[in-house]
C-alpha cells in the first residue's frame, strides 16, 4: 500500500458524510488552482470559474469528461 495521508475511499466517505455543496465548491476551486499550478488562491476568479461550470449545461463535470468516460467504460468491463 502507498504511504498516503488518506485513501480515495476515505475521502469519498468523508465527502458524502460531511460536505455540503459550498464545501465541495471550495474543493473544486482548490483542484482547479492546483491543476494549473497556482500557488495562491484567487477567490474572485475561482468563484467565476465555479459559476461558469454551474451555468453551462454542456459541461457535465468539473472532472474532464474523457476521464469520466474511461472510468465508466472500465466499470462495465
Supply 34's cell numbers: 492546483
Taking only the tens of pLDDT, the chain with its 77 residues reads 578 999 999 999 999 999 999 999 999 999 999 999 999 999 999 999 999 999 999 988 888 888 888 888 898 76
Cβ neighbours for 27, distance < 8 A, ≥ 6 positions apart: 15, 19
Cβ neighbours for 60, distance < 8 A, ≥ 6 positions apart: 68
Phi-psi region of 37 (alpha: psi -120 to 50; beta: other; left: phi over 0): left
Query: For residue 11, what pLDDT is reported?
Result: 96
Whole-model pTM: value is: 0.80
Find how far residue 65's CA is from the centre of its chain.
12
Query: For residue 2, what pLDDT is reported?
Result: 74
Confirm if 77 and 57 have CB atoms less than 8 A apart: no
Query: For residue 77, what pLDDT is reported?
Result: 67
Amino acid at each position: 500500500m502507498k504511504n498516503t495521508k488518506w485513501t480515495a475511499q476515505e475521502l469519498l466517505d468523508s465527502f458524502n458524510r460531511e460536505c455540503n455543496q459550498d464545501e465541495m465548491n471550495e474543493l473544486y476551486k482548490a483542484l482547479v488552482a492546483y491543476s494549473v499550478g497556482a500557488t495562491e488562491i484567487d477567490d474572485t476568479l475561482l468563484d467565476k470559474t465555479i459559476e461558469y461550470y454551474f451555468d453551462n449545461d454542456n459541461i457535465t463535470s468539473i472532472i474532464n469528461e474523457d476521464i469520466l468516460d474511461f472510468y465508466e467504460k472500465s466499470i462495465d468491463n
